[in-house]
Chains A and B, each alone.
Chain A
């Protein structure tokens, strides 16, 4: 920690954009001495006060609870108020590039138009719809609390949403934050709204189009791990027989079939299991793979030894 006790000079390259004035986007460079306890927000405020009053960014609580100061540093989404410069220089060196969460939606400098995020968030009804019980009591059993707790920590900073690669290429995808909230109310016994589960299980917009890249889990400044909530929503959909487009569910079932029968996934069999007649789409690819002697054509090969053990394990033991 010796180095942490001294001031170090750090270069900040900050994304600038002004809607009325060109050039459209540029980076301004500021070099400042940073102390061991400086957070990124301290530096941004210092730049605004001393060096360039036109620099714009959102901030409010300074305690990591309002979620308004989320920006990216060297592509890593984070809360400016909670991130120490010392740790950033440890990870990225003495030059830090500060950019807005999503450059294509920027309003000014580091401020992003988050309306797409809020629209999707609202669409999943992010509050409990209760039916009044006869006693009027609406209680949450204590055993449910641990399941809700971390999903409840979400501060709506939208870091996960703008880090999600599927959101970038598929605009209707609801995104990790909305799914986390949908999960939070789906497991809440006081809530009664089956439509929410149907909504998050639709094709293209729903959880089944999650590419499982874990960017959301990595981006979340509160450690919520939206990926685990998305997985839980998959399971809820299957256990509650929510309507999901066939291919998406069959893909998951294909894995179950394979591990209990042969142990090893045969891509050809899995593709047929998932896609059925749509496999026509894969013909050029498949033909090339056969030409290059890549593909195992025998659907029964390869097999793992003692697959019966898997069935034994999966069998539920009678109590």
Chain B
């Protein structure tokens, strides 16, 4: 298998564990993921708030580079997936627009043909290997681990665009990650916020709203007894992992500081509720979890980069250590 890889910005700048684990899976599967250095940011669903035309041209350029390679494009990020697939569909549906854009692209010797499909890594894996294929490679089943799946918005919505690219996933009751967890031998946690929004896109300027959104997700998963959470999106991962202490502060839990408290404090009768009920939920990229179950070394999967360490959950720690 050979694919064009579109990593997006966040994995490059702030989520190295995603790049490492995706590369580790690709190496294990003997897939070639080739990244063109010419790819730029997709606009992250914010550039289109300023100018639709600029975003269209920017993504047409990215897609044209993928077309020049002649291979399907694999994305690692939900928002990249949404923006690229959205503008690709618009170009394919509107011939006049495509013509106009190609006129512009001629200046830089590129052409958009729409040859390469845009798919998220998660759905490419599921499509190519099937759940059976993922399951038969497992050497270390996630026995007894309760895994909450968080899907992120732009991989499942709008369903009119994405359902052709994600195997017809229901945006109200997505199942793919839960089935993936089952295939890896774990126990999926069903909780209502699994298809909700983590609020990443407004986290820089509306931090309180964003923290409340991710706090609700984390609390629900925790209350349903999840040992860890997985997500296919680096943006959700940033908000749920790196900003987990902010999310908990929005819920009124913990000191609002990202360091763990000594254990004896949590079990004392005298400790106030906001400390006793404090929790830490390790959030992994789904690539990392597959890698663990397939027996790939944890350094290669970049587990040392996750902010909420896997050591914070007893069951997960025992699983990784053995």
A interface vs B, CB < 8 Å? 74-76, 91-92, 165-166, 169-170, 173, 203-204, 208-215, 217-218, 225, 227, 231, 234-235, 238, 245, 247-248, 251-256, 258-259, 263-268, 270-271, 274-275, 281, 284-285, 288-289, 292-296, 302, 304-307, 309-310, 312-314, 317
Which one of A91, A165, A253 has the greatest number of beta carbons of chain B within 10 Å?
A: A165
Query: Are B61 and A293 in contact (CB-based, < 8 A)?
Result: no
Closest residue on chain B to residue A275 by CB atoms: B204
Asked if B16 is an interface residue, CB under 8 A from chain A, the answer is yes
Asked if B300 is an interface residue, CB under 8 A from chain A, the answer is no
Residues of chain A contacted by B134 (CB below 8 angstroms): none
Query: Can you identify 16 A-B contacts, CB atoms within 8 angstroms?
Result: A74-B172, A92-B173, A165-B197, A211-B201, A211-B209, A231-B52, A234-B50, A248-B205, A256-B50, A258-B41, A264-B13, A265-B9, A266-B13, A289-B14, A289-B307, A310-B40
Residues of chain A contacted by B216 (CB below 8 angstroms): 169
Number of interface residues of B (CB under 8 A): 68
Quick one: which of B53-77 are within 8 Å of A by CB? 54, 57-58, 61
Using known A-B contacts A215-B197, A292-B306, A312-B107, determine if residue A251 contacts B41 with beta carbons closer than 8 Å: no
Query: Which of B107, B202, B307 contacts A288 (CB under 8 A)?
Result: B307
Quick one: which of B218-256 are within 8 Å of A by CB? 242-243, 245-246
Using known A-B contacts A165-B196, A214-B158, A218-B158, determine if residue A255 contacts B43 with beta carbons closer than 8 Å: yes
A66 to chain B, nearest CB (A): 24
Query: Which of A169, A218, A258, A266 contacts B159 (CB under 8 A)?
Result: A218
Query: Which of A92, A259, A309 contacts B41 (CB under 8 A)?
Result: A259
Query: Are A217 and B158 in contact (CB-based, < 8 A)?
Result: yes
| Distance of A288 Cα from B307 Cα, bound (Å) | 7
Prevailing SS type, chain A contact patch: helix
Using known A-B contacts A215-B157, A285-B243, A313-B58, determine if residue A251 contacts B46 with beta carbons closer than 8 Å: yes
Residues of chain A contacted by B15 (CB below 8 angstroms): 294
Residues of chain A contacted by B9 (CB below 8 angstroms): 264-267
B interface vs A, CB < 8 Å? 9-10, 12-17, 36-41, 43-52, 54, 57-58, 61, 104-105, 107-108, 153-154, 157-159, 170-173, 192, 196-197, 199-202, 204-210, 212-213, 216, 242-243, 245-246, 257-258, 304-307
Query: Are A309 and B50 in contact (CB-based, < 8 A)?
Result: no
Which one of B47, B206, B242 has the greatest number of beta carbons of chain A within 10 Å?
A: B206
4 closest A-B pairs (Cβ-Cβ)?
Answer: A213-B197, A234-B49, A263-B40, A265-B9
A213 to chain B, nearest CB (A): 3
Q: Can you add 5 more A-B contacts, CB < 8 Å, to A213-B196, A234-B50, A268-B13?
A: A170-B212, A238-B50, A267-B10, A313-B105, A314-B54
Query: Are B38 and A304 in contact (CB-based, < 8 A)?
Result: yes
Residues of chain A contacted by B49 (CB below 8 angstroms): 231, 234-235, 238, 252
Using known A-B contacts A215-B197, A289-B242, determine if residue A235 contacts B202 with beta carbons closer than 8 Å: no
Residues of chain A contacted by B108 (CB below 8 angstroms): 306, 309, 312-313
Closest residue on chain A to residue B197 by CB atoms: A213
Query: Are A265 and B13 in contact (CB-based, < 8 A)?
Result: yes
